[in-house]
């Protein structure tokens, strides 16, 4: 079974070497000690969320922390081509399901999009709380999938801000049921941001699609079936991963 992964202090992890010690404290330490119930002699990972992952062996465990001996240190380079999921806000927890799966698949950034047909609206205190909830979902999924890099959770965008992101991206792929170009046939860039845009339950409006295409986006299709907003993004990312990082 793969070792459990916990998030540690980036400054401390930057200094560790094989044979030195590493401390997991705070909420992560309590989780490791009282929920996972790590015991001396057991091995686990500690990551900084920015590419460094340390394999450690527990030496001392109390109720709030775990101290271990560093066995190995791995540094994962930042990808030259970044996969960015622009996920329209959706009712229930469908948008959260989407970003959770996307994180497990290896997405580099998730962006909440307040689309015209989004039933859910983030305003005021709700916006801050909802964004914090997205960040918590991404954090849990990062640990569950044993990732050394945690995806960035960006601030929500409206159509104007999204058009700006599209103009700066290496390529932007808009999932749309009327598109004729298959996603699997798109040539991926070697560097820069690859945006995957997923609309809400009611779909992307004609005005939104026109604005995104005018900024350089390409409408693409996944297949002959219509996917929910919770599964479309992860399905598209799996296709892109299979053609780039999973080779």
- Here the CATH number for the domain that contains residue 196 is 3.40.1280.10
Tens digit of pLDDT at every position of the chain (247 positions)? 689 999 999 999 999 999 999 999 999 999 999 999 999 999 999 999 999 999 999 999 999 999 999 999 999 999 999 999 999 999 989 999 999 999 999 999 999 999 999 999 998 888 999 999 999 999 999 999 999 999 999 999 999 999 999 999 999 999 999 999 999 999 999 999 999 999 998 899 999 999 999 999 999 999 888 889 999 999 999 999 999 988 7
Same domain, 71 and 91: no
> Does residue 247 fall inside a structural domain?
no
Position 1 scores a pLDDT of: 63
Q: Could you tell me the residue range of the domain that residue 221 belongs to?
A: 81-242
> Does residue 15 fall inside a structural domain?
yes
Domain boundary among the residues 49, 75, 101 is at 75
Same domain, 69 and 88: no
- Of 101, 121, 6, 89, nearest in space to 53 by CA: 6
> Does residue 206 fall inside a structural domain?
yes
Domain boundary among the residues 75, 95, 130 is at 75
Asked if residues 78 and 152 have their Cβ atoms less than 8 Å apart, the reply is: no
> Does residue 227 fall inside a structural domain?
yes
Q: What is the pairing mode between strands 66-75 and 21-24?
A: antiparallel
Same domain, 34 and 85: no
> Does residue 180 fall inside a structural domain?
yes
> Does residue 14 fall inside a structural domain?
yes
Same domain, 48 and 96: no
Domain boundary among the residues 75, 107, 135 is at 75
- Of 109, 123, 91, 82, nearest in space to 229 by CA: 91
Q: Positive or negative, the Cα torsion across 93, 133, 237, 147? A: negative
Same domain, 66 and 87: no
Same domain, 52 and 100: no
d(CA 147, CA 107): 11
Same domain, 106 and 38: no
- Here the CATH number for the domain that contains residue 36 is 2.40.240.20
Q: What is the count of structural domains for the chain? A: 2
């Amino acid at each position: 079974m793969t070792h459990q992964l916990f998030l540690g202090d980036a400054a401390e992890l930057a200094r560790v070497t094989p044979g030195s010690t590493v401390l997991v404290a705070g909420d992560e330490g309590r989780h490791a000690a009282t929920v996972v119930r790590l015991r001396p002699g057991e091995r686990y990972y500690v990551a900084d969320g920015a590419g460094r992952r340390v394999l450690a062996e527990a030496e001392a465990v109390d109720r709030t922390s775990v101290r271990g001996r560093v066995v190995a240190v791995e540094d994962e380079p930042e990808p030259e081509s970044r996969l960015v999921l622009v996920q329209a806000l959706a009712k229930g927890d469908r948008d959260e399901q989407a970003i959770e799966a996307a994180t497990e698949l290896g997405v580099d950034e998730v962006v909440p999009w307040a689309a015209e047909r989004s039933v859910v609206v983030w305003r005021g205190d709700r916006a801050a709380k909802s964004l914090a909830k997205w960040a918590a979902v991404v954090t849990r999924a990062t640990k569950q999938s044993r990732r050394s890099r945690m995806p960035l959770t960006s601030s929500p965008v409206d159509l104007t801000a999204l058009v700006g992101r599209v103009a700066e991206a290496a390529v932007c792929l808009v999932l749309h049921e009327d598109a004729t170009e298959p996603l699997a046939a798109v040539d991926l860039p070697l560097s820069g941001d690859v945006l995957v845009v997923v609309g809400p339950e009611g779909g992307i409006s004609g005005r939104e699609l026109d604005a995104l295409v005018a900024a350089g986006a390409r409408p693409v299709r996944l297949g002959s079936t219509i996917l929910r907003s919770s599964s479309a993004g992860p399905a598209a990312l799996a296709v892109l991963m299979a053609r780039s990082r999973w080779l």
